[in-house]
Chain A
């Protein structure tokens, strides 16, 4: 508990510190609000004792007292409101900072992390775990300050009244602490369980919502529902247990109050009958003991809020503790970019001892146009992802312009290397913004120019609002080829020095592809171009072609040279050419 609490505090403290004056001010406000609450009965008592129940009541002073009371009531109202808003504003600012910091941190993590963690889980982390902190600011803080304040006052009163009885009352405190510690431990465990099950449910939902059409096409609604039910039931079970625990805890603390009164009646009567304690004192104690337990109850009730918050914070902390394994070295400088690439005995393993790239040696000169072909799964995409430092090689090195890319500043590296990926991602926003990737500094004219060049302008202009058309959910209403053109345009707009096309034309017809290639030809002056394709016609124009197989480079040469070799390339080529075979 202590460690958890500390971890949570470590993360919250810097944020709270930022608002320390505000927090102090809020604290004072809460005390003020509590005081106005406490002062009200005192005023009434004064009014009755001194002004009403006197032999000659004076209407004027009664009016005065009423006026004071009225002012206090209004002040209480205003202060409560003000304090509430202030606390919420502060809380919201803190949550906002935590959220954006968390998001920023996640953005910095490497792809290995994202390969492992479903986006549904990340959503739960950023959206829901941070939201759980909200309760802390709405209820927890204000209520507990109030409770503690009241508790202290009551304790003071009790000790003033009779030290001995007060001391006896305090015997229950260790009991409360022990039992609380027990329940807190259990509650924390179940809260952890609950949150993790919630994130499982959300991850499942996220995935199935994204793939709903597959579920429907395969008519597996029932099966997926059962799968969902399994997870949802697990979540239900843990929320049930959590609730049972909370209420058992409630049962315990609530009954303590009444048991306390019963004990007082029993143990108190003796001394009172014997006359060692006045009845008034006993009566007052009975009143106090009940009021003594009220704030304790409300504090213990809030402890569940605290647990929820601690567990959520813990989950946030865990994310903050994930360190990116792709980092840039301090003070990395950008070399003058020419676009030469070299792979030196490069190895890559996604899982230990399972090399996907088994020693790649390749020298690419600036401005070279290189085709990459090879069986599916040979490692072409993996090789390219090394260039963008999605992953670091597990052996050997990758250099651009003679400098190991690990010594490049990441941002510049990724601006130098532009990849049109096999998987297309578009975002909610206009076509224009998608092409310039929301970088407002890129003028629209540049976007138009590029789109025209690559042959995307036509279809974009046919859209209802042209470039201003809002893409619905990730471009789902566009055809695949259209989406591919957009993602192509996006890379071209950024005009990278090294351009990588990973099956970037697989969803295009050959005519669109020809337009594209012409466009690339036009702008590629001095640009290094790496093209992966299974359609050989796509790569045969290249300066030379690299053939990969099972993590190694097996052939290299121009189209003609490779055909002469009658090796891997020739086989691929032939099967593409096969004509009129009677299969049917």
Chain B
């Protein structure tokens, strides 16, 4: 690594590049801003000079009314100019400071969009939020006030030093300014400590947001258990932690903030004793001595400001560090560099000897899985909890990266797809069916920029939720609340399935997405999905994977695989699996047995035919309902 690279890397870590980057893009604005503030500082020094001249002419007795008029105007014009330049400089800097925070928030959001689920497993939403809430706020301070205070401070410091040096005799200047040498030492000592403590404080704030987010996200559970006092206790812990970290921080920063101007005061002490000695010795004149003291007082304010500024810089530096750490997290799934597969997917799926282990864990959760699904066919996956069904679905979507040469679509390894193309080709209903707090319509039409209402309604008809939606006060325009709290469990699931249908992808994956609807509706949905009634979104050409615990959802699949602890334990179709008498048959007996888990009912031969007929009847009815609806 060359030095240059190292420097770059360092600045990447420290996060200051976020500010520099932007400043470099707008050099002119920053130049004008710095220049204006500088100019304003210069003008500020001129006013006392004008007053001085005014005084002189008075003393000389040369002042008349027109002279007074002239000085009035001078003071007025210079004063207004000073304020205006200061205003311009501050305005430019501050407005851009705000733009920077805006950009940082955008960057954060973009980054978050690129991070994989495994990242989110290690980082809580609340803590991440705290980056956009508290850290960005800290950065804003330095970005908007920084320039002003620094330029002002440096200028005033420079002016005071300049005055001292041109008027001064050297020994006194060296003696008076000597203590200031300690300042860089203090910065070196306190700087990193303040920064570290500030980072701790920010982390504590993040911790609190995490707790708040989590507890209010699970408020129903907290209330159901009457557990309010326990969570209040947990919250108090976090708040106590913030208080103690903050006090530590304040201790460090205020001692530093006070030490810097103290150095000027100590210089003052030295000058008084040493200067008066020199005055008495007639080495310097009394006037020089007094003037020197005056200039030394001028040092105090800018030093105080600079001390504060250094504090703010350390704080921001901590927050910038946290932000840039986040921004530097590499996204997990990369598109390969080679030529990416981009042609439309037909829907032939093949999984070959797939073995998978979650990164950082010891055991394989999938072992040597193989199956094929021809275009338009359906695969059912069942298996006990934790057997790896969801993992399989996630791998197909490359939410986790599958091993090379294990999953193929249309004969192409999905790792050779662009992630975008792959995810466009697969429509998925996750097991928890997360919904957004927007309207029903926007949720169903999530996969498109602009909601196509007709398509959304059709999707809802297919998933048998249209009727429910029409009963809502605002129908498709109903806001469904955070994560869909205003919907029933089954409605949530069906809206999530409708969202999948709407996407109209060649491959459908349903991950236990019918568990909260009754079996009748389940059947209706599965039938509709293969129906050619709405060819633009559903039909026989879709390849489908249905993961379920309820066997009624998979029994009609072309092939069913039974997973157990990550292995394919049994495979076949419903009839053959029932006959085989293994796990599937056992589950089947439990779920279908009229007398509970005691096995197949003996008396159902006649019954079954009867039921079948009734159901087919029903199917005919549902189609009729839909037709009626369409006609209307």
Contacts and interface: CB of A to CB of B under 8 A. Distances in A.
Interface string B431-474: 11011110000000011010000000000000000001000010
B280 A59 contact: yes
A29 to B, nearest CB: 13
Query: Which bracket fits the contact residues of B?
Result: 35 or more
A584 B289 contact: no
Contacts of B503: 218
A62 B518 CA distance: 97
A403 B133 CA distance: 47
A2 to B, nearest CB: 29
Interface string A303-336: 0000000000000000000000000000000000
Interface in B479-501: 481-483, 485-486, 488-491, 493-494, 499
26 contacts: A57-B276, A66-B269, A81-B255, A88-B254, A96-B242, A100-B235, A123-B213, A232-B102, A243-B94, A251-B87, A266-B68, A351-B473, A375-B490, A376-B521, A390-B224, A439-B227, A480-B432, A484-B385, A507-B549, A513-B590, A574-B611, A575-B519, A579-B555, A579-B574, A581-B616, A584-B556
A312 B209 CA distance: 17
B208 interface: yes
Contacts of A490: 225
B306 interface: no
A467 to B, nearest CB: 17
B14 interface: no
Interface stretch (B105-113, B180-188, B335-343, B408-416): B105-113
B579 interface: no
Given A52-B286, A269-B65, A479-B386, A212 B446 contact: no
Contact of B423 (A208, A218, A239): A218
A66 B218 contact: no
Interface string A87-108: 0110011001001100110111
A243, A286, A485, A574 — which one has the most chain B CB atoms within 10 A of its CB? A574
Interface string A510-525: 1111100000000000
Query: 6 closest A-B pairs (Cβ-Cβ)?
Result: A258-B79, A376-B490, A481-B385, A425-B218, A269-B68, A414-B226
B125 interface: yes
A216 B247 contact: no
A107 B231 contact: yes
Interface stretch (B51-59, B152-160, B192-200): B51-59
A223 interface: yes
Contacts of B428: 217
Interface in A359-384: 373-377, 380-382
A127 B136 CA distance: 14
Interface in B518-577: 518-523, 526-527, 530, 549-550, 552, 555-558, 574-575
A507 B113 contact: no
B220 A123 contact: no
Given A580-B574, A584-B530, A509 B587 contact: yes
Given A103-B212, A477-B358, A63 B423 contact: no
A534 B293 contact: no
Given A100-B236, A511-B384, A535 B212 contact: no
A534 B518 contact: yes
Contacts of A207: 436-437, 482
Interface stretch (A11-19, A153-161, A164-172, A415-423): A415-423
A577 B608 contact: yes
B69 interface: yes
Given A438-B231, A480-B512, A575-B618, 12 more contacts: A47-B272, A62-B277, A76-B265, A111-B220, A127-B205, A128-B137, A221-B113, A232-B106, A236-B102, A390-B224, A514-B597, A579-B555
A540 B601 CA distance: 14
A69, A114, A209 — which one has the most chain B CB atoms within 10 A of its CB? A209
Contacts of B434: 210-211, 213-214
Interface stretch (B26-34, B70-78, B161-169, B170-178): B70-78
B614 interface: yes
B18 interface: no
B75 to A, nearest CB: 4
A273 B63 contact: yes
Interface stretch (A176-184, A393-401, A446-454, A468-476): A468-476
A581 B616 CA distance: 9
B214 A70 contact: no
Interface in A246-296: 247, 250-251, 254-255, 257-259, 261-263, 265-266, 269-270, 272-273, 279, 283, 286
A411, A476, A478, A485 — which one has the most chain B CB atoms within 10 A of its CB? A476
B122 A390 contact: no
B128 A209 contact: yes
Nearest to B527: A583
A80, A100, A205, A438 — which one has the most chain B CB atoms within 10 A of its CB? A205
Given A250-B87, A423-B220, A261 B75 contact: yes
A53 interface: yes
Interface string A51-69: 1110001010011011001
A506 B254 contact: no
A414 B228 CA distance: 11
A34 interface: no
A44 interface: yes
A119 B217 contact: yes
Nearest to B144: A243
A9 interface: no
B83 interface: yes
Contact of B239 (A59, A100, A212, A283): A100
A481 B386 contact: yes
Nearest to B67: A269
Interface in B253-310: 254-255, 258-259, 262, 265-266, 268-269, 272-273, 276-277, 279-280, 286, 289-290, 293, 297
Nearest to B59: A279
B80 A250 contact: no
A119 B55 contact: no
Interface string A113-139: 011101110111011100100000000
Contact of B216 (A106, A202, A273, A474): A106
Interface string B379-423: 000111111011000000101000000000000000000001001
A584 B120 CA distance: 39
Contact of A202 (B51, B129, B221, B235): B129
Contacts of B555: 578-580
Nearest to B262: A77
B240 interface: yes
A88 B250 contact: yes
Contacts of B115: 212
A428 interface: yes
B99 A236 contact: yes
Given A44-B272, A84-B254, A255-B79, A511 B212 contact: no
B477 interface: no
Contact of B385 (A259, A473, A507): A507
Nearest to B615: A578
A148 interface: no
A515 to B, nearest CB: 11
Nearest to B228: A107
A223 B79 contact: no
A162 interface: no
A224 B449 CA distance: 9
A507 B94 contact: no
A235 interface: yes
B126 interface: yes
A500 B565 CA distance: 30
Given A66-B272, A473-B123, A534-B490, A254 B516 contact: no
Given A270-B68, A476-B117, A485-B385, A219 B485 contact: no
A388 interface: yes
A46 B68 CA distance: 35
Contacts of A428: 124, 210-211, 214
